[in-house]
Structure 1
Amino acid sequence: MTLILTRSVIRTLLADAVEDVEHAVARAHRELAVGQAKLPAPPAMRLRDEEGTGEGNAGADGAFLAMAAASAPDRLATVKLLADLPANRARGLPVQRSAVLAVDARTGACAALLDGAELTRIRTAAATAVATRALARPDARTLGLLGTGPLARAHVRALLPGRPYEHVLIWGRTPANAQALAGWVTSELGLPAKVFADPRSVTEHADVLCTLTPARDPFVHGPWLKPGQHINAVGAPPRPDHRELDTAAVLRCRIVVDAYETARAKSGEVLIPLAEGALGEEDFRTELGSVLTGEVPGRTADDELTLFNSVGVGLQDLAVARLLIDRAGERGLGLTVDLAG
């Protein structure tokens, strides 16, 4: 039988699972580092959308990424098909949509089909939390958020509980959305949150900075960074020509990636400086899993600038899929169908 989990059911199953998701994602990266999991770079299939309408969207290239992973400890192989369709903005539809197919690694039976939207947001924020715990200074007190969408709220839920932040600083392109996020942070978690008029002000004052926008062109610049900061570059789509940090900012940091092969194929954050000759491949070979296992150090000095370049990988989807399948079974949630019937 195959378990089908809709977005609403996934949201219910993950509502009280912040720590469990973080632990699952951390474990997945450790397993990758020691060879217990497999994670190929995702191939991208591009189609030109001849029906795209609206300024900046007509004829926009759609990309379809097959994000595969396999884990021996989790006994699963998964593939998430991610559709990244810029022309959807003009249609009033989400730019990114995805679904995850999970099969039993022992029998090959189709174990589950899961909507990808909520799963992706939660596992992305969990990966940021794992990286921040490993790389940020222990005395970090101010969290900066650049971006105000659903990914920002997921990051607040993942980063703030149980951590010693005292202030949250926010910037977004739409001031009303930034104010709404600030109000939500204060009401949900009781922390003061302040909205700034520009990304520079947030960047210059944050101990931990998260960039959470679907930017193509960089809006965080090297001279704004301060010694000892930790930056999570999260929001840019997995396209080699999109990035949130400029080359000068990346060069100031010690870089940790979620997975080297994926970053080498999809991350504008490192590929653009690489093409410019400003960065070498050895500069972004350190993977998060190697830090978590102690193979390489995390932060090496209080004044070091660290950057977690989060492209997002299929193994994170697999880890959360395993958690969801188990929780759904325990709680009797989801729909089961016989695909072979």
Structure 2
Amino acid sequence: MTLILTRSTIRELLADQVEEVEAAVARAHRDLTLGAAVLPAPPALRLPGSPDTFLAMAAASAPDGLAVVKLLADLPGNRDRGLPVQRSAVLATDTDTGACRALLDGAELTRVRTAAATAVATRALARADAATLGLVGTGPLARAHVRALLPGRPYQQVVLWGRTQPAAHDLAAWISADLGVPAKVLDGPRAVTEACDVLCTLTPSREPLVRGAWLTPGQHINAVGAPPRPDHRELDTEAMRRCRIVVDAYDTARTKSGEVLIPLAEGALREDDFRTELGDVLAGTAPGRTADTDLTLFDSVGVGLQDLAVTRLLTDLAERRGLGTHVDLGA
């Protein structure tokens, strides 16, 4: 039987699982470094004459007993239709029997696992005394990030900016009221960057919003929002050049991340500058932060292994709680 999980069911299942999701994503990255998981770079499928891209994000894990493919559709024209630019669904197969174990909507899963990866990277790379969290971008991804980053961490305030001022003020009010951390809206990306210890960029920008000249030694930056396209980025070349870079997966970053590919083409970065993966830092096989004055950066493109880790968690939770719909695809 195949378990089908809708977006609303996934949201219900993950509502109280912040720490568990972070732990699952961290373990998946360590498994990759230790050779217990497989993560190929996703192929990009493009129809002739179309800006649309379809990515098949695959991964397999021996510890989790799953092989997973998330089909991600990145459709810029959907913005004019009032539809999400990115849509996805996840198919999970049992590695022992080959049976289709689950089919899941990808939207909520993707937001939560992306925020969890940022939380894992921030815990590994940011200074222990980081007190101010900065957000550039105020959409659903920003809300997922503050849910993942604030609990159990010593942030004293959140500073943020978004292109839509009402949305920015709504987010600040929600953070202050619901999460108990003072939050305020600043007047631009530069003000946020210069005011924070940990910065998360969470926009689908094509052109850089954050400049390297604004960065301060000791900061940690999470570059998260740009879609997996080699011509999109939120940070300029100088920002990338100044930072110690950690990627979620080298093969994926090497083909999909404008953050590293544009500086690489310009000669400002070498491939060795972004070979360190998050799993390497977690497993202790490569350094992350080496001094309080380091500028560290997590380049988050998003990978199928993160989807797999959260899919495993979700299917186990759904079975225990009796949620979801079971369908016999072979009937």
* TM-score of the aligned structures, taking structure 2 as reference length: 0.99
Write the distance in 2 (CA, Å) between the matches of 1:304 and 1:29.
23
CA contact (8 A) 1:239 1:267 kept: yes
1:31 and 2:62 aligned: no
| Aligned 1:97-112 pairs, distance under 5 A | 97-112=87-102
Deviation at 1:47, TM superposition (A): 2.3
| Aligned 1:116-265 pairs, distance under 5 A | 116-265=106-255
Opposite residue 224 of structure 1, the aligned amino acid is W
CA contact (8 A) 1:142 1:208 kept: yes
Write the distance in 1 (CA, Å) between the matches of 2:254 and 2:288.
21
User: Number of aligned pairs?
Assistant: 331
Opposite residue 162 of structure 2, the aligned amino acid is G
Look up the SS of the partner of 1:64 in the other structure. strand
CA contact (8 A) 1:48 1:62 kept: no
Aligned to 1:56: none
Aligned to 1:57: none
Opposite residue 261 of structure 1, the aligned amino acid is D
Deviations 1:143-174 (A, max 9, x none): 00000000000000000001000010010001
Write the distance in 2 (CA, Å) between the matches of 1:169 and 1:278.
30
Task: Pick which of 317-326 and 40-49 moved more.
Answer: 40-49
1:94 and 2:84 aligned: yes
Aligned to 1:4: 4
Write the distance in 1 (CA, Å) between the matches of 2:61 and 2:207.
35
Look up the SS of the partner of 1:102 in the other structure. strand
Deviation at 1:191, TM superposition (A): 1.1
Look up the SS of the partner of 2:46 in the other structure. strand
1:325 to 312, 315, 323: 315
Write the distance in 1 (CA, Å) between the matches of 2:144 and 2:43.
27
CA contact (8 A) 1:186 1:193 kept: yes
1:84 and 2:68 aligned: no
Aligned to 2:42: 42
Deviations 1:241-286 (A, max 9, x none): 0000000000000000000000001000000000111110000000
Look up the SS of the partner of 1:61 in the other structure. coil
Opposite residue 231 of structure 1, the aligned amino acid is I
Write the distance in 1 (CA, Å) between the matches of 2:259 and 2:47.
23
Look up the SS of the partner of 2:87 in the other structure. strand
Write the distance in 2 (CA, Å) between the matches of 1:42 and 1:75.
20
| Aligned 1:268-279 pairs, distance under 5 A | 268-279=258-269
1:300 and 2:290 aligned: yes
Write the distance in 1 (CA, Å) between the matches of 2:176 and 2:212.
30
Write the distance in 2 (CA, Å) between the matches of 1:294 and 1:248.
28
Runs of 4+ aligned residues of structure 1 deviating over 6 Å after TM superposition are none
* TM-score of the aligned structures, taking structure 1 as reference length: 0.96
Write the distance in 2 (CA, Å) between the matches of 1:298 and 1:240.
25
Q: Which runs of 5+ in 2 are unaligned?
A: none
Write the distance in 1 (CA, Å) between the matches of 2:289 and 2:48.
43
Write the distance in 2 (CA, Å) between the matches of 1:22 and 1:319.
10
Look up the SS of the partner of 1:138 in the other structure. coil
Write the distance in 2 (CA, Å) between the matches of 1:169 and 1:252.
23
Look up the SS of the partner of 1:188 in the other structure. helix
Deviation at 1:189, TM superposition (A): 1.0
Task: Pick which of 182-191 and 131-140 moved more.
Answer: 182-191
Look up the SS of the partner of 2:167 in the other structure. helix
Look up the SS of the partner of 2:55 in the other structure. strand
* Superposition RMSD in Å: 0.7
**Identity percentage over the alignment?**
76
